[in-house]
Structure 1
Amino acid sequence: MDHFLYRNGVLHAEDVPLTEIAATVGTPFYVYSSATLARHYTVFDEALAGMPHLVCYAMKANSNLAVLKLLGDMGAGMDVVSVGEYLRAKAAGVPGERIVFSGVGKTRAEMETVLAGGIRQFNVESEPELYLLSKVASEMGVEVPITVRVNPDVDAKTHPKIATGMSDNKFGIPIARAREVYKLAASLPGVKVIGIDVHIGSQLVDLSPYRDAFRKVAELTEQLRADGHEISRLDLGGGLGIPYERSNAAPPLPMDYGDVVRETVGHLGCEIEIEPGRLIAGNAGLMVSSVIFRKNGEGRDFLIVDAAMNDLIRPAMYEAHHDIVPVMEPAPGAAQSPVDIVGPICESGDTFTKQRPMPHLDDGDMIAFRSAGAYGAVMSSEYNSRPMIPEVLVKGDQFAVIRPRPTFDEMLNRDKLPEWMQD
């Protein structure tokens, strides 16, 4: 469910017509719904009711400070994968005891910053990281709670670029070696084993891979406890998918996911952490763009729009689908014809969709890309020297720009000429 609906023939974000936002900030822009973000966090929180738990929002999906503050104020924790994300979470008011540090390439400098600022736990991904974290924590005179991320070799049945739980992925430690690595961790100063971490991928639309992975985690928990380790916390990752294509069957609901958690690990008495990102933010956002030209080609027509692959890279990177709808509601039964919707960047890959049936749209008409709240603005760039597009947050009948579009002067002034080039 989201809060983007047609009213009086105009697509709205909650109670704000998108035409009003476009008149203020221009196109293209991202717009997020506060009500949808809050609802999606709440359904995950409710899905784990009755178990001690913390929903740690995966910031990589959308790390705008306003989004983080909205969720943090509701009690969400944060899953971060860089010191930059950690500092964003802290700037949004999320305390260190609700922040989990994941990722395969944590540096000494990142460890030092995070240990000084406070952290709930490190999810350790390798033995070299374990040795370095032990050394840094010992030098700083602190003891840091850790889990070890285990790789259960479970096929998440998702896109290869967002699968993380197979034996050939870069993430985690093979589950067959977990007891050996936990024994090492217990012998090192500065780190304290408190749990297990697992994450098998993103955009999962089937619960069976979760069930398989969590059963392996449950078995490992019993083994590690028998070995004398304290296992009181299970970080089960995230990855539950969203319906990018409204015509397809809906992915499993968070409540169904919660039932799998209870069925597989609920008997262990552990605190449960989960790290949803896409499901919280994805359908909470749109990208709105205007048609620059309608171009008639040989055998096909093109809509050339003012958004591009630098603004929303998912179609170019993953061949990802986004439903695309006109901002002005078409008449019932309006004729549709196939078009390629493309951006202005000098790359053939700057194509959002090919031969998509759409109602007739003219120069200046606006379209909205649905399900663009996750992995949209966070993955954008200034390729072709195109300014980053604004982000807007809506609450009821109010809206605010939460990341402005930079001016060309602001972009240019970030570059510095070496002294020998200056007159």
Structure 2
Amino acid sequence: MSHFTYQDGVLHAESTPLPQIAAQFGTPTYVYSKAQLLGNYAAYADACAGRDALVCYAMKANSNLAILDLLAHQGAGFDIVSGGELLRVLAIGADPGKVIFSGVGKSEDEMRLALEHGILCFNVESIPELHRLNFVAGAMGKRAPVSLRVNPNVDAKTHPYIATGLKANKFGVAFDDALDTYRTAHALPHLDVVGIDCHIGSQLLDDAPLLEALDKLIDLIDTLSHEGIVLHHLDIGGGLGVDYGEVGEAAPVPVADYLGRLFARIDAWRARSHGGRPIKVIFEPGRSIVGNVGVLMTRVEYLKPGVEKNFCIVDAAMNDMMRPAMYQAWMKMAPVVQRDGNADNYDVVGPVCESGDWLARDRVLSVEAGDLLVMHTAGAYGMTMASNYNTRGRAAEILVDGDQVHVVRQRELPADLFKLESVLK
């Protein structure tokens, strides 16, 4: 169920009317639902109940400290892709022993930071990275736990910018090279080879590619076992999609259905090939945890009729939500207060000085200047991809808990943007 609902024609986040939030905190503003977040995480946790499994939230989707803290208290681990993200985990007091470090370009400083705090595992993506990590760990007198991110060459059937499992993508070790790469890792003196990882892409509405990738990983695990390289965890990544409300778009696969099918395959494999030998299963969901947790609320500044297009100019822009401009992503736009009256067809655009600054195209809206609109399903890859282009401060972030409203990130002011700059004397 959604925790953003209309009550007497006014959109609420849980029990809180959105106009109240706009009046108090201004716009553009991200508004998150605590109940939605906990419910989304519970879908994974409940499906994993009784199993040796760990849900590592992919925090690149939304790294607000309040979001991370709530998930950590539910037992989540974290999938990070930078040293800065690890520092966020440490800032909330979460367990670094439940952190997976992914990404193709880890620096020596990032490796040292992760080793100092005893993270669960490094997902390594190339032989040069193996050698660098072996060197750093040796210099520190430590052993680095590693899994290899294997690229299974499976077509995720998603937008090319968020497909990561094909030969042409920068991510992971090519499947044909994986066995030799594991041999190299196993021979390095300061590495412990503990797992295997895979992530084929994002916004997947069908779990067939994920299960195809799983079958390829299982075959590789068996091959490695015959060579004496025994793995202790299987990380199938994330990527499950969410419903953005686009007409004709397929419904996303339910979490429980996907995990049920995945665990069934793993159980059959273990019984067949391993006599029931246990292996931990790790997941890296991001969008499916936070996507529908948030909306981006914005105010209409002007309605501008045109010869070919009518424009609804709002105070949010591509710097606040990059997905439409970057991915041509369709995101649902709706009024905060429903109004009767003549509707018209609009492109919803922002004030940034770029033709690519649009949030929605060809939307039928009954709207006037001064009205509030929301972009739904904006909890993932909104604030984390936001910028200060045109010297625009990033939006405030608000977390709603029933009728309680919490500021979890203050709005940036212009002075905040240039306080680290200086002029020549």
TM-score, normalization by structure 1: 0.96
Partners of 1:335 and 1:236 in 2: CA distance:
49
The answer as to whether partners of 1:210 and 1:260 remain within 8 angstroms in 2 is: no
The structural deviation recorded for 1:8 is 2.2
- Say whether residues 1:358 and 2:359 are aligned partners: no
Amino acid at match of 2:335: P
In the alignment, is the contact (CA less than 8 A) between 1:47 and 1:257 conserved in 2?
no
CA distance in 2, matches of 1:178, 1:413: 47
SS at match of 1:384: helix
State the match for 2:377 in structure 1.
371
Instruction: Indicate if the aligned counterparts of 2:333 and 2:360 stay in contact, CA closer than 8 A.
Output: no
Deviation beyond 6 Å, 4+ runs, structure 1: none
Instruction: Give distance in 2, aligned partners of 1:378 and 1:93.
Output: 21
The equivalent of 1:164 in structure 2 is: 164
SS in 1 for 2:209: helix
Using the TM superposition, name which of 6-15 and 196-205 deviates more. 6-15
- Count, aligned residues: 416
Paired residue for 2:343? 336
Correspondence 1:118-267 to 2 at 5 A: 118-245=118-245, 247=247, 248-266=249-267, 267=269
Partner of 1:283, secondary structure, is helix
1:301 corresponds to which of 300, 310, 314: 310
State the match for 1:89 in structure 2: 89
Which amino acid in structure 1 is aligned with residue 401 of structure 2? K
How do residues 269-348 of structure 1 correspond to structure 2 at under 5 angstroms? 269-331=278-340, 335-348=342-355
Whole-Å separation in 1 of the counterparts to 2:161 and 2:120: 29
In the other structure, the counterpart of 1:29 is 29
- Aligned equivalents of 1:150, 1:299: Cα separation in 2: 48
Residue 407 of structure 2: aligned partner: 401
Q: Does 1:384 align with 2:393?
A: no
Give the Å deviation of 1:246: 5.5
Tell me how far 1:106 sits from its aligned partner.
Answer: 0.4
Deviation of 1:335 after TM superposition, in Å, equals 4.8
Paired residue type of 2:363? R
Cα deviation, residue 263, structure 1: 3.1
Q: Structure 1: how far apart are the matches of 2:261 and 2:339?
A: 42
The amino acid that maps onto 1:259 is G
Could you tell me how far 1:114 is from its partner in structure 2? 0.9
Q: Which residue of 2 aligns with 1:107?
A: 107
User: Partner letter of residue 20 of structure 1?
Assistant: Q
Q: 1:325 is matched by which residue type in structure 2?
A: A
| 2:243–2:252 contact (8 Å) kept in structure 1 | yes
On the 8 A contact 1:218/1:264 being kept in 2, the answer is no
Q: Does structure 1 conserve the Cα–Cα contact (< 8 Å) formed by 2:205 and 2:250? A: no
1:16-43: CA deviations, max 9, x gaps?
1111111111011001111111100110
Give 1:329 deviation, angstroms: 2.2
Give the AA of the match of 1:252.
Answer: V
Which amino acid letter does the alignment assign opposite residue 352 of structure 2? I
1:415 matches 2:421: yes
Q: Give deviations 1:141-164, integer Å, cap 9, x for gaps.
A: 111211111000000000000000
The whole-number CA distance in structure 2 between the counterparts of 1:47 and 1:201 is 22
CA RMSD of aligned residues (A): 1.2
Structure 2 distance, partners of 1:335, 1:71, is: 44
- Name structure 1 gaps, 5 residues minimum: none
SS of the counterpart of 1:60? coil
Query: Is contact 1:215–1:265 with CA below 8 Å preserved after alignment?
Result: no
Unmatched 5+ stretches in structure 2: 271-277
What is the alpha-carbon distance in structure 2 between the residues aligned to residue 39 and residue 368 of structure 1?
22
Secondary structure, aligned partner of 2:60: helix
Rounded Cα–Cα distance in structure 2 between residues aligned with 1:265 and 1:106: 31
CA contact (8 A) 2:246 2:330 kept: no
